[in-house]
Chains A and B, each alone.
Chain A
Amino acid sequence: MILQEPLLFELSRKGRSGVSLPKPAGQTHAIPVHLRRSKAARLPEISEPEAIRHFTRLSQWNFSIDTNFYPLGSCTMKHNPRVNEEVARYTGFAHVHPYQPDETVQGCLQLMYELETYLAEIAGMDAVTLQPAAGAQGELTGILMIRAYLESQGNPRKKILIPDSAHGTNPATSSMANYEVVQIRAGKEGRLLASTVAGLMNEDVAALMLTNPNTLGLFESEIRDIADIIHSKGGLIYGDGANMNALMGKARPGDLGVDVLQYNLHKTFTTPHGGGGPGSGPVAVKKFLEPYLPTPRVVADSCQLSAVSHSLDFDRPQSIGRVRTFYGNFGMLVRAYTYIREMGAEGLTRATELAVLNANYLRARLQDTYHLPYEARSLHEVVFSDKKQKEMHVSTLDIAKRLLDYGFHSPTIYFPLVVFGALMIEPTETETKETLDAFCDAMIAIAREAQTAPETVQKAPHKTHLRRLDEAKAAREPRLRYHFR
C-alpha cells in the first residue's frame, strides 16, 4: 500500500545514474565560453531500479482501460489491442528518418496510402490527409481548407454555424481560423432542425460544423435537408468525426452531405489514449476539396516498370500548406492501420453494432433511476442528468466521485453544456454484459445512497488515497513546477 510517492527531484541523490554510457572515444572539445551553459539543468540523479520503482508505482495510481471500465462519453475508451504496440515498434517503422529518400521508405508510404483509402471508404469521402496531429488540429485543417476553397470562389465569408452541444474545440478552431462563431440551438428533442438552420443560413456563413451523431448520442436525422440548405447558399458542411464509432458500416458522412471530416484515430481506431495523447486527426474530403489538402500527399506512381510505387508529392499549388513538420503521427497511423486490417469491414461494422447495443443496454437499465433529458433513441452514447438526485442535494460531481469507490472511472461530466449536470456515458463495444451490469448496479446503488444516505455520495470518494483535491487552490496559487530548496 504505497500512499505517497516522492517526486523524481526528491528521490535524487548526487552521483547516482540510471544509464551506463560508452566511454568517449575521440577528443573532448570545449564549447566556447560565451555559449556555455552557466547553470546546469537540475535533472534528477537516480538509479535504474529507483526509476523503475518510481514510475511503476505512479502507474498503479491510475485508472485505465486496462484496469477499469472507463465510460467517458465522446472519448471512445475501447480496448487498445496489444498487437498495435508490438507492430509500431518494428525496427522498420520506428528507426526510420522522415527525410529518407522515397525509395528507402516504400513500406511507410504504402501503409499511409492504404490507410488513406480505408479512411476514405469508411467515411464515404474521396481523399484523405494523415498529417494532423490530433482531432483539434484536424478540425483546423478542415476549416482552413474550407476558407481556401471559398476564397477561390471569390469570398471566404465570415461566420461558422456551430450547435450549442458541440465540443469546445469546434468554436475554438473557428476562432483560430478567423471565423465568427454563430451558435445554433437544437430543437427540443435534442436534434438540429432544418428550419433553425434555414433561419441562420446566408451568404455570410462559410460552413456548419456538425457532429453526427451529436454529443447527446442522437443521430441528426434532418441532416439531408440541413445539408441542402447550407449547400444551396454556397456553404460547406464540416463533420466532426469524433463519434464515428456509431456509424461504421451503417452510414457514411460523405453520403449524408458532409464535405470535410476529421477522424480521431485515438477514439475510433484504438490508438492508445496515453494519458492525453498522442492522437492523430486525419481529414477526409470530397473531391472538390482535394487540391487544398496539406502538402505533401502520398501518391501512387502510375509507371509499372519503376521500382518506386509510392512517393511524396510536394507540387500542390492550392494546398493550405503544412500544419506540422513531416507527414503525420506515423507511429499512430501504424496502429490504426493494424486495427483496421485486423477487423476488416465485418469487424468494424460489428464494433459499431455492439457499441450501440451496449449504450442502449445501459440506457434501458438506468433510465428509471436517472433523468434522461431526451427521449429520442441513443446510438453509441447516452446522456443522463442529475435532476432526480439534485432533490437530495446530490450532484453529478458527487455521483462521479462515488463511482470511483465502486472501481469505475466516471463518465464525462458537465458536457455537453446543453444538459445541466450532464453524465455522458459511452461504454464502447469492448465491454462484456457482466461489466455493464456491474456498472449499472453501482449507478443504481449510488442513486439509492443519494436517497438514504446522501452524505456518503456528497463526501465521496472514500476509498481513493487522495480525496477531492482543491482545484480552486491550484488555480489561485499556481505551483506548476517543483522548486528546489
Chain B
Amino acid sequence: MLSTIGVSSIEELFSTIPTDLRLKTPLQIPSPLSELELRNHLREISRKNAHGEDWAIFLGAGSYSHYIPSAVSQLLTRGEFLTAYTPYQPEVSQGTLQSIFEYQTLVCEILGMEVANASHYDGSTSMAEAALMALSITKKNKILVARNIHPEYREVLHTYLKNEGAVTQEIPFDETGALDRKIIDSLIDSDTACVIAGYPNFFGVIEDLTDVANKIHTAGGLFITATTEPLSLGLCKSPGEMGADIAVAEGQSFGNPMSFGGPYLGMFATREKYVRSMPGRLVGETVDQSGKRGYVLTLATREQHIRRERASSNICTNVALCALAATITLALWGKDGFEKLSQMNFDRAIDLKTRLGKIKGLRARFSGTHFNEFVVETARPADQILLALQKENILGGLALSRWYPELKNTLLITITEMNTSEQIEKLVSSLERCS
C-alpha cells in the first residue's frame, strides 16, 4: 500500500503536521485490555452501582423504570439498524426511514398533534427549542414558564435563552400543585410569545390546561406543553386536545432504560402550519421513479447543512436509535398495552398514596389528580427518612427542598408497573417504622 501511495513509511503520511507540533510521547492512557479482561473490568465497575433489580427504587422525576419487552434489544442490536447512519441515500436506508415515519406517526397520535420530528436530544432540550420556535414564530419577547415544571428543564431553558434577549417569567403553583390561575392572568400580555406548562408537572399533578391555552391564544401567543412521563397519555387528555401549539415530551419511558440519565428521547410535535419553523429532521412519504411508495428526509431547508447560520436549530445527530426503541416498544405494547400500562401506573400510585397517608408522620402534599408520582410531606426531616430507607436497600423518593425551598421535608415518590409487591410492602413497612 505504501508503494502505491509513494511513501516509504506511515510516518511520512503525517508530514504536513509540523514536527514541533507533533506529540513526542505516548498518550498516558492505561494499557489495552483483551475483551475478556475488558468485560471483567466493566462488570466490576457496574457492581459498584445500586440498581433496580436488587434495590427497591421509587424514583421518577424525569426518568422512569418501565417494562421493555424482550424483543426490543434483539431488534435494536441488528447491525443494519445499529450501524447505519443518517439516511442520506434513501434507496439504501428505507429501514431507518420507514421506521422514523412510523415513529413520527406514533408521536402525533400520543401527543394529539399534527406533525412530529424524527427526535430531539431529550425532553429538556425539546422544551428549550420549543421556546425558541415560539419566539421566532410570534416575534414577541416574553416567555412564561410554569415553576412546577422539572427544575432541570427550566435550567436548560435558561441556558438556551440567555442570549436571545427574551424575558422569562415563572408562573407559580397553587396549593393543589396546579398552575396559579390568578397570577397567569396578570402575567400574560401582548408581548407574551408563549406559556409553557408541565403536563403532568414535576409533582406528578395532572390538570386540564385548556383554559390556559385559551388565555394565551387570545393574547396572540402559543401554548406549549412539556411532558416528562408520556405514559400518562394512555389515560389523560392529550396536549393537542387541550390546544397545545407545540407539545414536547421525554420519550425515555418507551423502551429506553434509565441508564443513569441518558441517552434519552426528545419527542417534539407541533401544528402543520408551524412545520417550517420546527427544528430537527423530518421524514416524508414520496414515490420513486416507478411510482413505488418510499420515504425520504425532507424539508431540509430548515436545517443546518442547508441554511447554516439561518437554520432553525444547529441539531444534526439526534437519537434515532432511541426513537426506534420507542417505536418497537409501542408497537409491541400496542393500543391495548399502552392503555393498560397507563391504568396500572395510575392505580398503583393512588393505592400507594392511600396506604402512605395512613402512616403517622406522612401526608399527601398536593390534592391535585396525579399520574404515577406524588408528593408526600414528612414530619421527620425527609433526608433522615431517605437515609433510613437506604440502609434497607430502598430508594424511597426524591427530597424536593433542593429545588423548592418552601417544600421543606417533602418527598416525590414514584411507582410504576416495575415495582414488585415485595418492594411495595418493604417500602410501606419501612416508612411505618421510620416516619
Contacts and interface: CB of A to CB of B under 8 A. Distances in A.
Nearest to A178: B163
A72 B235 contact: no
Contacts, number: 645
Given A224-B21, A278-B263, A323-B159, A17 B337 contact: yes
Sorting the interface of chain A by its residue count into under 10, 10 to 19, 20 to 34 or 35 or more gives: 35 or more
A36 B234 CA distance: 9
B422 interface: no
Nearest to A34: B208
A1 interface: no
Sorting the interface of chain B by its residue count into under 10, 10 to 19, 20 to 34 or 35 or more gives: 35 or more
B282 to A, nearest CB: 6
Interface string A235-259: 0000000000000111110011000
A218 B17 CA distance: 10
A100 B414 CA distance: 13
Instruction: Specify which of B16, B132, B275, B339 lies most central, judged by the most chain A CB atoms within 10 Å of its CB.
Output: B16
Contacts of A344: 29-33
A470 B89 contact: no
B311 A75 contact: no
A111 B109 contact: no
Contacts of B287: 469-470, 473
B98 A58 contact: yes
Nearest to A461: B91
Given A37-B238, A168-B306, A345-B28, A328 B262 contact: yes
Interface stretch (A21-29, A196-204, A388-396): A21-29
Interface in B14-34: 14-18, 21-23, 26-33
Interface in A26-53: 26-29, 31-32, 34-46, 48, 51-52
B183 interface: no
Contacts of B310: 175
A14 to B, nearest CB: 9
Given A48-B332, A468-B289, 5 more contacts: A134-B318, A175-B309, A250-B22, A365-B4, A466-B90
Interface stretch (B49-57, B137-145, B187-195, B213-221): B49-57
Contacts of B208: 34-35
B236 A364 contact: no
B87 interface: yes
B294 interface: yes
Contact of B343 (A24, A409, A466): A24
Nearest to B110: A41
B203 interface: no
11 contacts: A8-B102, A39-B112, A43-B335, A62-B93, A134-B318, A177-B163, A273-B86, A345-B31, A360-B7, A413-B88, A480-B298
Given A275-B86, A325-B122, A334 B42 contact: yes
B125 interface: yes
A384 interface: no
Given A98-B260, A325-B261, A349-B27, A256 B299 contact: no
B322 interface: yes
Contact of B38 (A83, A97, A110): A83
Contact of B309 (A7, A181, A248, A266): A181
A126 to B, nearest CB: 14
Interface stretch (B71-79, B374-382, B426-434): B71-79
Given A341-B30, A377-B13, A171 B335 contact: no
Contacts of B2: 357
Contacts of B158: 321
B4 A466 contact: no
Instruction: Specify which of B18, B21, B104 lies most central, judged by the most chain A CB atoms within 10 Å of its CB.
Output: B21
A277 B110 CA distance: 22
Interface in A136-171: 136-137, 139-140, 144, 147, 167-169, 171
Contact of B395 (A67, A104, A255, A345): A104
A97 B309 contact: no
